[in-house]
Amino acid sequence: MNETLKTIAQRYSCRDFADTPVTDEQVETIVKAGLAAPSGNNSQPWHIIIIRDKAFLDGYDVEGMSILAAMEDKTMYERMMGRGGKLIYNTPCMAMILSNGAPPAMLDCGILCQTVVLAAQSLGLNTCVVGMGGIPLKGAKGKEYKERLKFPEGYDYAIGVLIGTGNSGKEPHELDMAKVTYINS
């Protein structure tokens, strides 16, 4: 198996990050890989914000969990509490991927997200893709967060990638071949 396929096969969703920082060199490599992702008509409808301010990330996490706790439907809050009570799992680095909202932007941002995840994995880092990482942006501090993070005009949260070193490993999910249909000649 070649290195790319090994990287894909070994990746798992890490939900227990160590305090080990992600280096400048690692971040630069991951960002450049992400920016090399394909997009429809090369429109690049994204913007990436790299957050490595641990105090900010910790406060952002607390805000997100308090928003979940205040929701009438406690399903997501209970799910997160069952995973350690953290929205972003003590990550030392978050790649926040923003979308400009153009029609194919979410697909293109998904491609960028997968590229970031595989680049990080290839560097020996662990990742977790988080849609719920945008929850704090919808709360009372949302406008403050967007200003602090320098959101470009017209862009909104699409998806986040938590990046770091896992405290413990985990097996990748099992492949479900029932999800595939082959049509041959």
**CATH code, 120:** 3.40.109.10
Rounded to whole angstroms, what are the CA distances from 175 to 29, 165, 178? 29, 24, 9
| Count of alpha carbons within 13 angstroms of residue 150, beta-carbon side | 5
* pTM score: 0.94
Q: Tell me whether residue 178 is in a domain.
A: no
pLDDT value for 171: 85
Q: For the segment 110-132, what is each residue's pLDDT rounded down to a tens digit?
A: 999 999 999 999 999 999 999 99
Beta bridge partners of 156: 99
What confidence category does residue 15 fall into, taking pLDDT thresholds of 50, 70 and 90? Answer: very high
DSSP 13-69: B---B-SPPPPHHHHHHHHHHHHTS--GGG---EEEEEE--HHHHHHHHHHHHHHHH
Q: What is the pLDDT of residues 127-182, one digit of tens each?
A: 999 999 999 999 999 999 999 999 999 999 999 999 999 998 888 889 999 999 99
- Residue 173 in domain: no
Helices 24-35 and 105-122, interaxial angle, to 10°? 140
- Counted domains in the chain: 1
pLDDT at 169: 82
Range of the domain at 74: 3-167
Within a domain: 180? no
For residue 177, being part of any structural domain is answered with no
pLDDT at 10: 94
- Positive or negative, the CA dihedral 36, 47, 54, 11 is negative
- Residue 179 placed within a domain: no
Report yes or no on 82 lying in a domain: yes
pLDDT in tens, 44-95: 999 999 999 999 999 999 999 999 999 999 999 999 999 999 999 999 999 9
Q: What is the mean pLDDT of residues 17-43?
A: 97
Is residue 78 assigned to a domain?
yes
Does residue 185 sit within a domain?
Answer: no
